[in-house]
Amino acid sequence: MKNILLYIMLAVIIFVTGCKKDSDPIFDDPDTRLAAELSANQAKLLDAPNGWKAMIYPKGGKGFFYYFKFKADGSVTMLSDFNTTTALTSKEGTYRLKALQRPTLIFDTYSYIHLPSDPNGDISGGTNGAALVSDFEFAFVRSTKDSLILEGIFNKNQFKMVKLTAAEEQIILSGEISTFINESTPYITNKILYMVLDGKQVPVSLSATTKVFSIAGQVSSVFYYGVDVLELGAPIKFGSYSFDKVYWNKAGKYFYALNGTEQVKIETSLSPLPLDITPALHTVLGARWASLRIQVSLLPDLSADFLSKYNAAVTAMNGYGGRSIEYMTILFTSNNQITLAIRCRNPAAPTSVYTANYIYNMTLNSATGVASFVLDPSQTLGPGLGNTNANAFKTYLAPITTYMSSNSFKIAYIAAGAPSGSTVGGFLSQTNPASFFYGVLGQ
């Protein structure tokens, strides 16, 4: 009897345990669960009747905006702020959902989302091979009622998608972002920009090419183009100011940022603004800094007035046996003299390099950093005296040498385009505020 009761109890336990396993989702077939999750994610993608706006800030730089409208047949329509064409002309691509380590959204035909990842640096805007270290396969991380958060499979870039309203979709499809890029770019390209912060003019940089906004060369953030707004990848904090967007005023044709409710306009200056660095540049010439190299091909923001003088000398030297100017260097030999060294080359003899050295006596105001220059008498006594090359080339290089002596210049650290890691010094004309040149400082 006892044995019969024992068998009955065991049978009941096995039955109950078996029922519990069947009803416990932990023990469901993994493929079934994954298929259900992929189906749920597909439903989320399709549950945006007006499409999605998406944004990504690749690890290799820049930020990018995308418009997506997913369809049940595996196709997707998209726009992007990658350039003015991709922001205006929609493109059809395909997508699929796949179970990798996590449910994953894959854009599986080459389309706008692939451009920042293109290994051709001329296409991606990044380096050959690495491109901009972006992604086009994304794992689902989490979702809310109106948004999806995903993560790049290969490079771990965050990819956020937010549902659009009908009005937002129509604005994007009408090409407003392309119009914004076209309209605003001329106002920041080859311009010297600044903001007035705490009562001071502070240089800023806003680049449509690199998609970077920076203040005083100290803090910066990448951005993407929205509708009349630049969305920063991270807030910029400078002193008591904090900015997370840069807005475009269509009527006034200028950019501005908001610090709380305070509107701070981005202004244009005729010449670079001196950086507030201690000790000031003019006080360490010949001590900390020995030279300033001006290589025009590497410096994009030289003033038109300086370039006109430089190009006139280039043309003149070219007429003198086809010689070319490679670069100029200002040597800070002492507090009251500089040497302007202009390096030239003869293409008929590739190894023949000539440097013409012009010595100037310098009068420097130690309080303001403003200097004036007079060509030393030894440079003007005629052929055969002083530096041989300087005398031989002086007629042809006169546009440059005369420019130096006909202006007074404020000498200061400035923010300007130069090779990465360089420290830049500027000569800012006090005679003509629109005239200046700058170069890379050397020790």
CATH number at residue 201: 2.40.128
Query: 149 and 204 in one domain?
Result: no
Final residue of a structural domain among 269, 298, 332: 269
pLDDT of residue 218: 85
Q: What is the pTM of this model?
A: 0.76
Whether residue 28 lies inside any domain: the answer is no
Whether residue 34 lies inside any domain: the answer is no
CA–CA separation, 324 and 329 (whole Å): 15
| Comparison of pLDDT for 172 and 30, the residue scoring more | 172
Label residue 90 exposed, middle or buried (CB < 10 Å: 0-12, 13-18, 19+).
middle
Please count the structural domains in the chain.
3
Final residue of a structural domain among 218, 234, 269: 269
Locate all alpha helices (DSSP H) within 100-258, ordered by sequence: 121-124, 166-173, 176-184
pLDDT at 7 over 80: no
Which of 220, 187, 186 is CA-nearest to residue 203?
A: 220
Of 53-67, 95-109, 369-383, 412-426, the one with minimum mean pLDDT is 369-383
End-to-end CA distance of the chain: 103
CA–CA separation, 188 and 230 (whole Å): 13
Query: 374 and 237 in one domain?
Result: no
Query: 166 and 299 in one domain?
Result: no
- What single string gives the DSSP state of each residue in 276-293? --SS-GGGSBTTTB-EEE
CA–CA separation, 318 and 88 (whole Å): 45
Q: Which two tokens stand for residue 171?
A: 């604005």
**Tens digit of pLDDT for each residue in 120-129?**
999 999 999 9
Whether residue 3 lies inside any domain: the answer is no
Query: 337 and 218 in one domain?
Result: no
**Tens digit of pLDDT for each residue in 274-310?**
888 899 999 999 999 999 999 999 998 899 999 999 9
Query: 436 and 390 in one domain?
Result: yes
Query: 140 and 64 in one domain?
Result: yes
Query: 413 and 309 in one domain?
Result: yes
- What single string gives the DSSP state of each residue in 13-41? HHHHHHHHHHH-GGGS-HHHHHHHHHHHH
Secondary structure class of 122 (helix, strand, coil): helix
Whether residue 12 lies inside any domain: the answer is no
Specify the long-range contacts of residues 85-90, CB closer than 8 Å, at least 24 apart: 85/178, 86/112, 86/115, 87/175, 87/177, 87/178, 87/181, 87/225, 88/175, 88/178, 90/173
Whether residue 86 lies inside any domain: the answer is yes
pLDDT of residue 29: 66
Domain coverage including residue 75: 44-174
pLDDT of residue 2: 45
pLDDT of residue 352: 83
**Tens digit of pLDDT for each residue in 158-211?**
999 999 999 999 999 999 999 999 999 999 988 889 999 999 999 899 999 999
Query: 305 and 247 in one domain?
Result: no
Whether residue 291 lies inside any domain: the answer is yes
CA–CA separation, 275 and 217 (whole Å): 9
Query: 301 and 205 in one domain?
Result: no
The β-bridge relationship of strands 64-70 and 52-56 is: antiparallel
Cis before 186 (ω within 30): no
Final residue of a structural domain among 242, 269, 296: 269
Query: 303 and 201 in one domain?
Result: no
Of 312-321, 333-342, 373-382, the one with minimum mean pLDDT is 373-382
pLDDT at 382 over 60: no
pLDDT at 23 over 50: no
Whether residue 200 lies inside any domain: the answer is yes
Whether residue 10 lies inside any domain: the answer is no
Query: 68 and 142 in one domain?
Result: yes
Query: 226 and 147 in one domain?
Result: no
